[in-house]
């Protein structure tokens, strides 16, 4: 049983103290001695200060990763890497409550939801552990003259630079570090400056589990001062990034210097399609939480809701009632369903979209305002919002908001809704609600998205690839395809006559 945490009495264990970064197996500060604060978005209180790294710190981290890659880590065989990943998973499981508290206080994720991510995150680590011993090349029958044997080897790509966002620090860290350890790569991870604490905690636990010095390094700092130098660093063999499409484009440009490998999981404007025959009792809460989960701060948020015209008005009415009934507050309260936005800057951004929606003629049916009364006054809270009367051309229907805002629109035919759903530069995810198997298969095939969920949403499994089409990025996380992103294929020819 997990402990109930009283929001009024709760103090984070760091409580304003300094937390160094992790390079080469040591806890170090930035060479410049600069720091920045990380704050609890529910209360505005300073949780800790962390180093504000610059290019010279990134150089040290990359050098540590290269030394480890060329050193003892290169002699770890697949079984040893597997055992290490299983030890990490077991240690994470024993410290899961501590990890959840870190995510909740640093980025606002309700602790009930954080606790519920245990199977997903620990499952990832154990899946990658299993895959560590399944990496293999092939014997290839060639057409060369003479007696020449040919085969391929799968080898680690090298030093991986990983840049992750603030909206899922634990899962994003594991999705980058897990496959790197499974394949024999080393990592320099740059967490978002908005939520850097959990990756540092994970590094501490990984060191305790026996990860050799330099195999995993955590560099804290801003995107321009630490992220950009990592992306363009000539000592980095691969960059893996999760975040905005605009930043992803800059990373692609920065990678050109040494033609490093790149994989990107970027933005989305995901459609959710509710057909006339859908199970409404199931569809309403799932469609709502496809957006409202994590206060809408999730790349796969199903923020464009297409509802069959015959049920549109009734569905939107029930959706609004559901939104109005959600419990909003400090995520450390286990009863909280909707936590704060990450920062005052993000709150202002979301408020701008709320204003744009009403200015452009959308009808506000739930939410639509900042919540700043009582215990919410010091935090970055906005009410779960539902707009109807939205057109495809409106700003709220075109741009990624990263807030708890749903745009509801009616449709008449499947051909029409497919065309409208695909009319976006993004292609990360989509949802469908129908009882008809043929409709489910048709829409799953025709929607241009990397993940399609039918009568559910947010289903993520370590064995199933996840990633986007179009401007939502390229490369995959999860599944055997994920490990291929961290491997290079070498062809070998041996004359034996």
Burial class (CB within 10 angstroms; exposed 0-12, middle 13-18, buried 19+) of 258: exposed
Whole-number average pLDDT of the chain: 96
Question: Which DSSP symbol is given to 237?
Answer: S
Q: What is the CATH number of the domain that holds 308?
A: 3.40.309.10
- C-alpha distances out from residue 142 to 133, 137, 148, 387, Å: 27, 15, 8, 62
Q: Are residues 438 and 476 in the same domain?
A: no
Q: Are residues 262 and 277 in the same domain?
A: no
The reply to whether 451 falls in a domain is yes
Are 193 and 19 in contact, with CB atoms under 8 Å apart?
no
pLDDT 10s digits, 358-417: 999 999 999 999 999 999 999 999 999 999 999 999 999 999 999 999 999 999 999 999
275 is catalytic: no
CB atoms inside a 10 Å sphere around CB 46? 15
Residue closest to 353 by CA, chosen among 296, 403, 295, 426: 403
Residue closest to 403 by CA, chosen among 357, 448, 449, 360: 357
Structure tokens at 302: 């199903």
Res 461 pLDDT > 90: yes
- 3-state DSSP assignment of residue 487: strand
180-212 burial by CB neighbour count: b if 16+ within 10 A, else e? bbbbbbbbbbbbbbbbbbbbbbbbbbbbebebe
The reply to whether 392 falls in a domain is yes
Burial class (CB within 10 angstroms; exposed 0-12, middle 13-18, buried 19+) of 303: buried
User: What is the number of structural domains in the chain?
Assistant: 2
Res 4 pLDDT > 70: no
Residue closest to 490 by CA, chosen among 152, 193, 217: 152
416 is catalytic: no
What does the alpha-carbon distance between residue 362 and residue 390 come to, in Å, rounded to a whole number?
5
What stretch of H or E contains 264? strand 261-265
User: Average pLDDT, stretch 430-444?
Assistant: 98
- C-alpha distances out from residue 486 to 23, 135, 218, Å: 21, 11, 19
pLDDT 10s digits, 257-289: 999 999 999 999 999 999 999 999 999 999 999
Residue closest to 10 by CA, chosen among 382, 300, 375: 375
Q: Are residues 283 and 256 in the same domain?
A: no
Are 115 and 211 in contact, with CB atoms under 8 Å apart?
no
Q: What is the CATH number of the domain that holds 23?
A: 3.40.605.10
Q: Is the dihedral of CA 118, 130, 451, 299 positive or negative?
A: positive
**Choosing from 265, 337, 477, 485, which is the catalytic residue?**
265
The reply to whether 466 falls in a domain is no
Full domain range(s) for residue 397 = 271-461
The reply to whether 370 falls in a domain is yes
Q: Are residues 368 and 291 in the same domain?
A: yes
Q: Are residues 322 and 337 in the same domain?
A: yes
What does the alpha-carbon distance between residue 173 and residue 102 come to, in Å, rounded to a whole number?
14
Residues paired with 388 in a beta bridge: 363
The reply to whether 4 falls in a domain is no
Q: Are residues 201 and 344 in the same domain?
A: no
Q: Are residues 286 and 201 in the same domain?
A: no
pLDDT-based confidence at 8, cuts 50/70/90?
Answer: low
Q: Are residues 251 and 276 in the same domain?
A: no
Structure tokens at 40: 């609890």
What stretch of H or E contains 484? helix 479-484
Q: Are residues 249 and 297 in the same domain?
A: no
Q: Are residues 113 and 25 in the same domain?
A: yes
What does the alpha-carbon distance between residue 307 and residue 431 come to, in Å, rounded to a whole number?
12
What does the alpha-carbon distance between residue 425 and residue 465 come to, in Å, rounded to a whole number?
21
Are 381 and 372 in contact, with CB atoms under 8 Å apart?
yes
What does the alpha-carbon distance between residue 202 and residue 193 come to, in Å, rounded to a whole number?
16
pLDDT-based confidence at 1, cuts 50/70/90?
Answer: very low
pTM of the model: 0.95
Res 182 pLDDT > 50: yes
The reply to whether 3 falls in a domain is no
Q: Are residues 315 and 411 in the same domain?
A: yes
**Choosing from 299, 337, 400, 477, which is the catalytic residue?**
299
Structure tokens at 227: 């992220």
pLDDT 10s digits, 308-345: 999 999 999 999 999 999 999 999 999 999 999 999 99
The reply to whether 121 falls in a domain is yes
pLDDT of residue 354: 98
Q: Are residues 275 and 239 in the same domain?
A: no
The reply to whether 467 falls in a domain is no
């Amino acid at each position: 049983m997990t402990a109930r945490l009283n929001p009024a009495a709760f103090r984070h264990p760091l409580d304003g103290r300094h937390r160094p970064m992790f390079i080469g197996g040591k806890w170090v500060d930035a060479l410049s001695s600069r720091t920045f604060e990380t704050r609890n978005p529910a209360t505005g209180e300073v949780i800790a200060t962390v180093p504000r790294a610059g290019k010279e710190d990134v150089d040290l981290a990359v050098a540590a990763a290269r030394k480890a890659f060329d050193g003892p880590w290169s002699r770890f065989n697949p079984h040893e890497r597997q055992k290490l990943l299983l030890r990490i998973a077991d240690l994470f499981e024993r410290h899961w409550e501590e990890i959840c508290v870190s995510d909740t206080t640093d980025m606002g994720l309700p602790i009930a939801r954080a606790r519920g991510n245990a199977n997903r995150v620990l499952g990832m680590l154990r899946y990658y552990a299993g895959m560590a011993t399944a990496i293999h090349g092939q014997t290839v029958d060639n057409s060369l003259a003479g007696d020449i044997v040919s085969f391929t080897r799968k080898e680690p790509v090298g030093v991986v630079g990983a840049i992750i966002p603030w909206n899922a620090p634990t899962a994003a860290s594991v999705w980058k570090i897990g496959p790197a350890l499974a394949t024999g790569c080393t990592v320099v991870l740059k967490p978002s400056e908005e939520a850097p604490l959990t990756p540092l905690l994970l590094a501490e636990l990984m060191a305790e589990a026996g990860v050799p010095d330099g195999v995993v390094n955590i560099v804290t700092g801003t995107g321009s001062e630490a992220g950009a130098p990592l992306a363009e660093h000539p000592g980095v063999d691969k960059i893996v990034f999760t975040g905005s499409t605009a930043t992803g484009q800059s990373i692609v440009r920065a990678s050109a210097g040494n033609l490093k490998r790149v994989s990107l999981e970027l933005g989305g404007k995901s459609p959710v399609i509710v057909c006339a025959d859908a199970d409404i009792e199931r569809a309403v809460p799932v469609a709502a939480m496809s957006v409202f989960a994590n206060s809408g701060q999730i790349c796969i948020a199903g923020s464009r809701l297409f509802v069959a015209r015959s049920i549109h008005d009734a569905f939107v009415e029930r959706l609004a009632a559901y939104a109005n009934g959600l419990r909003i507050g400090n995520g450390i309260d286990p009863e909280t369903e909707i936590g704060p936005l990450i920062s005052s800057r993000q709150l202002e951004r979301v408020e701008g979209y709320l204003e744009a929606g009403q200015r452009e003629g959308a009808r506000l049916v739930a939410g639509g305002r900042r919540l700043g009364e009582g215990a919410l006054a010091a935090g970055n809270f906005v009410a779960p919002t539902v707009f109807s009367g939205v057109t495809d051309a409106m700003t709220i229907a075109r741009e990624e908001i990263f807030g708890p805002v749903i745009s509801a629109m009616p449709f008449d035919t499947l051909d029409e809704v497919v065309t409208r759903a695909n009319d976006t530069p993004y292609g990360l995810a989509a949802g469908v609600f129908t009882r008809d198997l043929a409709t489910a298969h048709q829409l799953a095939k025709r929607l241009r998205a990397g993940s399609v969920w039918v009568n559910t949403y947010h289903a993520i499994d370590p064995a199933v690839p996840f990633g986007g089409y179009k401007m939502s990025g390229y490369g995959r996380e999860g599944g055997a395809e994920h490990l291929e992103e961290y491997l290079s294929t070498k062809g070998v020819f041996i004359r034996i006559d």
